[in-house]
A and B are shown apart, each in its own frame.
Chain A
């Protein structure tokens, strides 16, 4: 029973690798591992390192962390000055708080709008269910930027909403909606709504009809059943969906840039301006590091839910 399964070339290279002490298995692990190490993990260390440097007018526009002194000794010129600056300047503090506030409010609204839709889809019979699901996903496949742009046309002074309200005689003077925090909230809820609906839907379809029937059988009204059975059981979906909206919302740049006013402070926008306008890379890095601290906890939470789902 001789198994001539692999080509000579493969066996040859396998022998060379084996001779180097590397198995095929290690090689297969190494490819994705190295890619993510170099292009995902290492960049954070670079980010951290540069956040400790000082800005200079040069290429690259930051100081090295070590310098040779006159006698050739190593001098450390790294410092926490950028972080101190962030905490002392009200602009950054306000930007962080405002980002959190906007992200929380839009997450709550996305949940309030998304839950009934997810519930309805999950309870729908085929083929309606597939069609509705497709309709939720469809906008997600079209350009994010263009969807935000669509709201510019909607919310403008002479935009669709104002034109409609004025022609119906509801208002005399156009409402100011664009370039407000309200517009930013709408933009975030709008673009991230599918991220809320999909995990909720995935969770709610698994809900066993028998649970609901049992609750009804035991005398619970539909409303009571919803609050005592459906809602608690869909908690993992609620958390996953909320994190998927909250995390990107915190760092959002495009939406506040297009829909927000000059006084809409969001940390992603501050970072962008710090980098592209002020060209202060070290401060931008420090801003990013602090933002990272804000999103690490929600990311871990999300991950733990994902892991639990795997174990089921």
Chain B
């Protein structure tokens, strides 16, 4: 039902549309955000955002601090009233519906565990407000605590738990009412790196078990890449690109997205000629370069070439049969163990970043001040127009 999100070289087009409903133009969205804007005084936090999210998705809103992702989430939860636009959840207009009457629940960045209540009471709170009989409610709480592996801690107060345990209580509490939509604000932000990686997969397991739609706000791109069915990259209140993790990384639609996700070398240039199978682009910093053609470009149009550092090869001898070869001198080497980062100064003076994985033990690695050739195939780069 829910597709595995590990980035694997899956033949994208072969997958059926029902596991990726966003590829089906006729699919009915579960959450429909329509032209939503939020202004605080003169400041526009969210600027005319429209977005469709489908049932069972784990959608990540990714962006830096102050990009409006949290405000967007809070509008879905009902804590902020949109200045313009509307939100539909399962076909129902949410305008004017207060947070306590919405079919959504939220997991807060600070977890917001009630400090004066035990774990059990925290988790039961939502059910009791629904008017569930106590016995039934606490039976459900026990089940939920089992799911998050906290049965033994039911009677503890939040301050007696570790950070990871608190995080799981917060998750259990927000899931207990079986919301149609769970909103998670930086759910892993307060955990340390190792725990965060374990918890990511735990989160996916729970989401798949319960089949709830998740919207996750995060500033951590690795987290978004691992968790998400789709990612929405936000900046200055606008959604810059929506796509599957692979698309966002491999086919960024703008310099901003290319630069925001991972690291990238950008070359400014003009279209020279577009042959049927290859395109030539003039750049000042790296001379003429060859890329795969992109339709809809005119001659002399201003473009940018985005090139990931790991797609560039480095060699002492000029490689044969490679379309793009640029000579340079190694300026810096950063040895990381599983890979090495190089900064190579091209003849134009431009410095590019190159990453080489340590697949083979190299007895004579490329070092400082060595003249080298950087090379890449036409398909390694992506041509951007904005």
Q: Do chains A and B touch in the complex (CB under 8 A)?
A: yes
Which of A's residues lie within 8 Å of B, judged by CB? 1-5
B131 within 8 Å of A by Cβ?
A: yes
Which of B's residues lie within 8 Å of A, judged by CB? 100-101, 103, 129-131, 177
Q: Is the CB of A5 within 8 A of B129?
A: yes
C-alpha spacing A5/B100, complex, angstroms: 9
Give the chain B neighbours of A4 by CB distance below 8 A: 130-131
C-alpha spacing A99/B101, complex, angstroms: 60
Q: Is the CB of B129 within 8 A of A1?
A: no
C-alpha spacing A4/B177, complex, angstroms: 14
Give the chain B neighbours of A3 by CB distance below 8 A: 100-101, 129-131
C-alpha spacing A5/B101, complex, angstroms: 10
Tell me, rounded to whole Å, the shortest Cβ–Cβ distance linking B164 to chain A: 29
C-alpha spacing A3/B131, complex, angstroms: 7
Tell me, rounded to whole Å, the shortest Cβ–Cβ distance linking B277 to chain A: 57
C-alpha spacing A1/B103, complex, angstroms: 7
Give the chain A neighbours of B101 by CB distance below 8 A: 1, 3
Tell me, rounded to whole Å, the shortest Cβ–Cβ distance linking A8 to chain B: 13
With A3-B129, A3-B130, A4-B130 given, can you name 11 additional A-B contacts, CB distance below 8 Å?
A1-B101, A1-B177, A2-B130, A2-B131, A3-B100, A3-B101, A3-B131, A4-B131, A5-B100, A5-B129, A5-B131
C-alpha spacing A4/B100, complex, angstroms: 11
Residue in A closest to B128 when the chains form the complex, CB atoms: A5
Give the chain A neighbours of B130 by CB distance below 8 A: 1-4
Give the chain A neighbours of B100 by CB distance below 8 A: 3, 5
Give the chain A neighbours of B129 by CB distance below 8 A: 3, 5
C-alpha spacing A2/B131, complex, angstroms: 8
C-alpha spacing A208/B100, complex, angstroms: 42
Residue in A closest to B132 when the chains form the complex, CB atoms: A4
C-alpha spacing A3/B101, complex, angstroms: 7
Residue in A closest to B130 when the chains form the complex, CB atoms: A3
C-alpha spacing A3/B102, complex, angstroms: 10
Tell me, rounded to whole Å, the shortest Cβ–Cβ distance linking B127 to chain A: 11
Tell me, rounded to whole Å, the shortest Cβ–Cβ distance linking A2 to chain B: 7
Tell me, rounded to whole Å, the shortest Cβ–Cβ distance linking A311 to chain B: 14
Give the chain B neighbours of A2 by CB distance below 8 A: 130-131
Tell me, rounded to whole Å, the shortest Cβ–Cβ distance linking A6 to chain B: 10
Give the chain B neighbours of A1 by CB distance below 8 A: 101, 103, 130, 177
Residue in A closest to B131 when the chains form the complex, CB atoms: A4
C-alpha spacing A123/B103, complex, angstroms: 52
Residue in B closest to A1 when the chains form the complex, CB atoms: B103
Give the chain A neighbours of B177 by CB distance below 8 A: 1
Give the chain B neighbours of A5 by CB distance below 8 A: 100, 129, 131
C-alpha spacing A271/B130, complex, angstroms: 61
C-alpha spacing A5/B130, complex, angstroms: 7
Give the chain A neighbours of B103 by CB distance below 8 A: 1
C-alpha spacing A2/B177, complex, angstroms: 12
C-alpha spacing A23/B233, complex, angstroms: 40
Residue in B closest to A4 when the chains form the complex, CB atoms: B131
Tell me, rounded to whole Å, the shortest Cβ–Cβ distance linking A3 to chain B: 6
**Nearest 4 interchain pairs by C-beta:** A4-B131, A5-B129, A1-B103, A3-B101
Tell me, rounded to whole Å, the shortest Cβ–Cβ distance linking A65 to chain B: 46
Give the chain A neighbours of B131 by CB distance below 8 A: 2-5
Tell me, rounded to whole Å, the shortest Cβ–Cβ distance linking B82 to chain A: 20
16 pairs, A vs B, C-beta closer than 8 Å: A1-B101, A1-B103, A1-B130, A1-B177, A2-B130, A2-B131, A3-B100, A3-B101, A3-B129, A3-B130, A3-B131, A4-B130, A4-B131, A5-B100, A5-B129, A5-B131
Tell me, rounded to whole Å, the shortest Cβ–Cβ distance linking B141 to chain A: 18
C-alpha spacing A1/B177, complex, angstroms: 9
C-alpha spacing A111/B130, complex, angstroms: 58
Residue in B closest to A5 when the chains form the complex, CB atoms: B129
Tell me, rounded to whole Å, the shortest Cβ–Cβ distance linking A4 to chain B: 4
Tell me, rounded to whole Å, the shortest Cβ–Cβ distance linking B134 to chain A: 14
C-alpha spacing A89/B100, complex, angstroms: 67
Tell me, rounded to whole Å, the shortest Cβ–Cβ distance linking B361 to chain A: 46
C-alpha spacing A2/B103, complex, angstroms: 10
C-alpha spacing A4/B103, complex, angstroms: 14
C-alpha spacing A99/B130, complex, angstroms: 63
Tell me, rounded to whole Å, the shortest Cβ–Cβ distance linking B317 to chain A: 53
Tell me, rounded to whole Å, the shortest Cβ–Cβ distance linking A146 to chain B: 38
C-alpha spacing A73/B311, complex, angstroms: 99
C-alpha spacing A2/B101, complex, angstroms: 8
Residue in A closest to B178 when the chains form the complex, CB atoms: A1
Task: Give the one of A2, A3, A4, A5 with max B CB within 10 A.
Answer: A3
Residue in A closest to B126 when the chains form the complex, CB atoms: A3
C-alpha spacing A1/B130, complex, angstroms: 7
C-alpha spacing A311/B216, complex, angstroms: 30
C-alpha spacing A91/B100, complex, angstroms: 66
Tell me, rounded to whole Å, the shortest Cβ–Cβ distance linking B14 to chain A: 39
C-alpha spacing A38/B161, complex, angstroms: 49
Tell me, rounded to whole Å, the shortest Cβ–Cβ distance linking A9 to chain B: 16
C-alpha spacing A2/B130, complex, angstroms: 7
C-alpha spacing A105/B129, complex, angstroms: 60
C-alpha spacing A4/B101, complex, angstroms: 10
C-alpha spacing A4/B130, complex, angstroms: 6
Task: Give the one of B100, B103, B130 with max A CB within 10 A.
Answer: B130
